[in-house]
Amino acid sequence: MFMYEKKLQYPVNIKNPNPKLAQIIITQYGGPDGELGASLRYLSQRFAMPYPELKGLLTDIGTEELGHLEMIGAIVYQLTRNLSLEEIKKSGFDTYFVDHTTGIYPVAASGYPYTAAQFQSKGDVITDLHEDLAAEQKARTTYDNILRLVDDPDVRDPIKFLREREIVHYQRFGEGLRLATDKMDSKNFYAINPAFDCTKPNKRR
């Protein structure tokens, strides 16, 4: 189960609202490489994972991504405080505003709503871990692109923190992949899928 802690993983304190930035950054809330997809990917993949280290890792990282989702929500929320209609029209935020006012809704920067079609839970150890490694790099690139577009240090600071987390998670998943392959047939990792082919405990390596 999950329990809530009434604090962010890393502080978000943005002095100056900026609806244009909000519309860009919301992509990490509900976009193709965003935190919602990341969390659902890892927390869903856990169930098929046969190795304890990987169950632990997917649980920890999937949980942390929920904390990141909350941070992105806080950034977007703070960037859209006290907006005038003039600012909304001028910034291009009007296309989001018409559907959601300043409520937080999971969409990509393009306006495309969140969809689980953008991630996989394949039920295959090697496949899922490669998906996870790629996911961390895709999110890292998105944060790099956000940093290219943002000057405000109040916004850059938590975005830089989130970018670093992608790199740390990538590192851990790399170790996880090595741990998994160590337990598999070294001549042919694909000989069996340990998430499906040997479900009897005494047959597990």
Partner 1 sequence: MSERKKLLMRLQATQFAAWELHMFLDTHPCDRTANEMFRKYTDEAKMLKTEFEKKYGPLTVSSSYEASWLNDPWPWEHQGSCD
Would you tell me which residues interact with partner 1 (CB under 8 A)? 3-15, 53, 56-57, 60-61, 64, 70, 73-74, 77-78, 81, 168, 172, 175-176, 179
Q: How far is the CB of 74 from partner 1 (least distance, A)?
A: 4
Structure tokens at 146: 């956000």
49 versus 109: smaller Cβ distance to partner 1:
49
d(CA 131, CA 74): 28
Q: How far is the CB of 6 from partner 1 (least distance, A)?
A: 5
d(CA 147, CA 161): 11
Place of tokens 């090595």: 178
Closest CA to 136 of 158, 169, 159: 169
Q: How far is the CB of 57 from partner 1 (least distance, A)?
A: 4
53 versus 94: smaller Cβ distance to partner 1:
53
Distance linking the first and last C-alpha atoms of the chain = 29
80 versus 118: smaller Cβ distance to partner 1:
80
Q: How far is the CB of 143 from partner 1 (least distance, A)?
A: 18
Q: How far is the CB of 198 from partner 1 (least distance, A)?
A: 22
d(CA 156, CA 205): 46
42 versus 114: smaller Cβ distance to partner 1:
42
Closest CA to 10 of 171, 167, 164: 164
37 versus 176: smaller Cβ distance to partner 1:
176
d(CA 5, CA 16): 27
